[in-house]
Amino acid sequence: MITLLTMHELHGLTAQRLGELHQLFSMLVIETEPDTPDRRNILATLENIERAMGCAARPSCRC
């Protein structure tokens, strides 16, 4: 089972590390079946990574 990465866990990671995680989870989502818990966790994690990437680009952001 694939776990969900929360904003708290992603906070403080470098832009490079966030990019690497985004690439990894993007590849994982292709390999999962629709409507499964793993796919939902991957999609939620991708959303959190994208939010964290946006916050990393704006130092004044409070994510």
1-30 pLDDT, tens digit each: 888 999 999 988 999 999 999 999 999 999
Q: What is the chain's mean pLDDT, rounded?
A: 90
Query: Is this model's pTM higher than 0.75 or not?
Result: yes
Q: Which two tokens stand for residue 37?
A: 């818990």
Give the pLDDT confidence score for residue 5 in this predicted structure: 94
Distance from C-alpha of 24 to C-alpha of 50, rounded to nearest angstrom:
13
